[in-house]
Structure 1
C-alpha cells in the first residue's frame, strides 16, 4: 500500500514568493511529496529549498536534475545543500533530459546519454557519501573532489528511465526509478525490467493531470503536449517499445514533414486519454490511483492549468489541491 502522494512544484501561474501557502495547502490536503522538474521554468533546486524551509511535513524530490547541464561537482553541491536543509526528506532524481534542453538551450553536447547517466550516478553516490573522488568515469573525469559540506543523511538517488537498458541500470545501481509519459497499463511493462532491484526500491511516476470535465479542452491541450514530447527521439523510441508505433506513426510522419496541424489531428482520443489524466478531481484521483495499483510507490501529479483555475486564482488552486488529495482508502 502506498502512503506517498506527490505534486510537481512550482504550480503554473503562482509566483514562487506565494508558494508558502501552496506547500501548506499540499500538506494539509494529505500530499506527502513535492517534486520539481527542470526544463525551462524554475531550476530543480530552488522550489525545493523553499519547501524545505516553509513546510517541514513534505518530502522533496527532483524529477529530474539533468546529468549534462551541471558539472559533476556542482550537481553534488546542489544536492548536498538541499539534503542538509531537509535532512532525511530529500531524494535526488537525475536523468539524461533531451537534446533540446541540453544542446539547444544549454549549449552542451548531448552525447552518450546512457553512459553519462551511469557515470554521474556513480560519481554522486561517492561524492554525497563524503568520499574523495579522483577517477576516470568514461564520459568525464574528476580530480580530487570532496564536498566541504557532506550531508549527514545522504539523499537516495533515483534515475529517470524509459527503456530496458536504463531501467536495468536504475534497478542495479540506483535507489529508485522515475517514470514519465506512460499510462497506468504501461507500468507493468516498465517494471518488468527492474526485477533485479533490492528491497525499498522506489518507483516514482510523473503523471500529467488536467483537472477539468471539459474533455474537449483537456484533449486539445494534451495533444499539444503529446506532440511536443513524443516527437523527441528518446520518447518516440520508448513508445515504439511499448507497442504504440502504429498509433503514433501518422503523427510522427506529419511532424517530420513540418505539418504541425496534421500531426495534432493524427493523435486520437484514445491515446490522449491513456497518457494524460483528465476529468473532475475525483476522476483524476481515481486515475492516479491506478498507477499505484500497477506498482508506482510515489505518484507525482503534474498539473495542467485550466481556464477555471486561471480565473479563480489562489482560492481555486487551494480548493483543487484539497480535492486532489490522496484517497481515504489507498489502493493495496
Structure 2
C-alpha cells in the first residue's frame, strides 16, 4: 500500500477530544502515521502525550508548530517530554504560520519567516542531537541550554509554500509538508526541492501533502469541508493557487472581506476534488494516487467527521488491517 497517514482535522463544529478517537481508529485500521498539528484546541505536546499513552503502534508526528511562537528550546523540551512521558515520536514539524496567529493570537512579530526557519532548524537539530545551544543569529538566539534526554536524528519537517521557504526546506529539512494543494502544485514543489537540494549537494527531502478525503460525502460533510476551506481562499499563495484552478471569483470575494459562511455556501464539489480525494472508494483511491504520482512520498488524509464520527467508516474503508 502506498504511504498514507492520517491528519488530525480539528473541525470547529466537532468535540475537541474527537481527535483522540480519530487516532485510535487510525491505529486500529492499520495506518502508519498520525499527524498532530496545533490550532485552537489542545497544546500539541499535551495531545501527543495523551495519544501516545493510548496507542502503541502508530507513528506520531507533531507539528508543524509556528517558529515565531515556539523557540527551538521549547520545541525540544516538548518533544522530549512526549518521548519520556508517553513514547517516542516519529518527527517534529515547524512552520511559518500566519500573521493572524503569530501577531494576533500571540503578540509576536511575523516577519522574515524563511530566514527564521533556517536558523530555527539549525538550532533545534543541534539541541535534539545533544549539543549545548550557542547561537546568535539574525532571528534566533539561544545560549547554554542542553536537553537532558536528547533525541538524536529525529526528522525535522518544514511546512513550505512560497519559493523562499521551499528553498530553505530543500537545504535544511528532512521532509517538506504541503497543505491543501493540487497535484500540479505538488509536482512543481517536487521539482523545486530537487533543484535546490542539488545546488547544495544534498539529498532532496521527502515530500508530504495533507489533503481532505471524503468517501461518498453527504451534505453535512460537504458543508464541513466548505466551512474550513473558505479560510484558505484569501491568504497569499493559497488564493493564487485557487485562482489558477478556476476559482478566482471566490478568491476575489474572500479578499474583499465577504463572510466565511457566505463563501462556504458557494464552494463547489469540484474545488474539493481539485485539492483532495472525493467520491466513491475508487474515486478516493484514484485521487490519492494522483498526489503520489505528482511526487508526494507521503499523503496525509484529513477525515471529515460531520456524519462519520472519528472518521471510522472512511478509515476502515481505506485502512490495511
Give yes or no for TM over 0.5.
yes
Residue of structure 2 in register with 1:118 after alignment = 118
- Structure 1 Cα separation of the partners of residues 244 and 184 of structure 2: 16
Structure 1 contact 171–194 (Cα < 8 Å) conserved: yes
**CA distance 1:163–1:256, shift in 2 (3 Å):** closer
Where does 1:203-282 land on structure 2 (aligned, <5 Å)?
Answer: 203-214=207-218, 218-236=221-239, 239=241, 244-245=243-244, 247-260=246-259, 263-264=263-264, 267=267, 269-282=269-282
Q: What are the Cα deviations for residues 207-258 of structure 1, in whole angstroms up to 9, with x where unaligned?
A: 11233333x5555444433321131234335x28xxx348343223322333
Residue of structure 2 in register with 1:48 after alignment = 48
Residue of structure 1 in register with 2:302 after alignment = 302
SS of the residue corresponding to residue 107 of structure 1 reads coil
Structure 1 contact 72–120 (Cα < 8 Å) conserved: yes
Q: What are the Cα deviations for residues 49-69 of structure 1, in whole angstroms up to 9, with x where unaligned?
A: 233232221111124111122
- Structure 1 Cα separation of the partners of residues 249 and 66 of structure 2: 30
**CA distance 1:126–1:286, shift in 2 (3 Å):** same
**CA distance 1:69–1:16, shift in 2 (3 Å):** same
- Structure 2 Cα separation of the partners of residues 269 and 97 of structure 1: 27
- Using the TM superposition, give the Cα deviation of residue 26 of structure 1 relative to its aligned residue in structure 2, in angstroms: 1.9
TM-score by length of 2: 0.84
SS of the residue corresponding to residue 44 of structure 2 reads coil
TM-score by length of 1: 0.82
Query: Which deviates more from structure 2 when the two are superposed, residues 90-99 or residues 135-144?
Result: 135-144
Q: Could you tell me which runs of 5 or more consecutive residues in structure 1 were left unpaired when the two chains were aligned.
A: none
SS of the residue corresponding to residue 138 of structure 1 reads coil
Residue of structure 2 in register with 1:322 after alignment = 316
The number of equivalent residue pairs is: 312
Q: What are the Cα deviations for residues 22-43 of structure 1, in whole angstroms up to 9, with x where unaligned?
A: 5443223220001111121222
**CA distance 1:229–1:163, shift in 2 (3 Å):** same
Structure 1 contact 178–203 (Cα < 8 Å) conserved: yes
- Structure 1 Cα separation of the partners of residues 59 and 181 of structure 2: 24
Where does 1:1-332 land on structure 2 (aligned, <5 Å)?
Answer: 2=2, 4-9=3-8, 13=14, 16=17, 19=20, 22-84=22-84, 85-87=86-88, 89-151=89-151, 153-195=152-194, 196=197, 198-199=202-203, 201-214=205-218, 218-236=221-239, 239=241, 244-245=243-244, 247-260=246-259, 263-264=263-264, 267=267, 269-306=269-306, 308-309=307-308, 313=309, 317-325=311-319
